[in-house]
Amino acid sequence: MNTPDWIPIAPEGELTERGAGIRFDMSLRMPRGPEAVTGFVVRHRGVVHGWVNQCRHVAVELDWVPGQFFDSAGDYLLCSVHGAAYAPDTGICVSGPCVRDRLLPVPIEIREGVIGWISRGNLLPPITTTNRHD
């Protein structure tokens, strides 16, 4: 399947340090075909990090309110269901039921002030009626 390499998410200025994350649609290549999921980006220590929005303990979205990923101190990304805490820069679970496991990273590039993600490997563009494979 011919997919675009870089998929824009949002202007870089919309992402604040340890503030609300920005969600985006994507899909994961699975044995039975692509699965629709969301990804997200956050800014931590001046760097934009991208992750698949799925807890490694149970495949549920992390944000308890859309875009709210950080704990109250802005130090860790928290799972809305079991409270697993992930380091925002490495995606490693530092506490909770999935300690030492890691969020699935999404490669991020900023081009001309726009944050975008790179579609490659098992990370695919969002499923649409034109690229869906049943």
Which CATH number goes with the domain that contains 70?
2.102.10.10
Query: Which residues of the chain, if any, have pLDDT below 50?
Result: 1-3, 131-134
Tell me the pLDDT tens digit for each residue of 83-117: 899 999 999 999 998 888 999 999 999 999 999 99
Domain that holds residue 120: 6-124
Q: Considering the domain boundaries, does residue 84 fall inside one?
A: yes
Structural domains of the chain, count: 1
Mean pLDDT of the chain: 91
Whether residue 130 lies inside any domain: the answer is no
pLDDT of residue 1: 37
Tell me whether residue 133 is in a domain.
no
Residue 73 belongs to a domain:
yes
Domain membership of residue 45 (yes or no) is: yes
**Is the residue at 131 inside a domain?**
no
DSSP collapsed to 3 states, the chain: CCCCCEEEEEEHHHCCECCCCEEEEEEECCCCCCEEEEEEEEEECCEEEEEECCCCCCCCCCCCCCCCCECCCCCCEECCCCCCEECCCCCEEEECCCCCCECCECCEEEECCEEEEECECCEECCCCCCCCCC
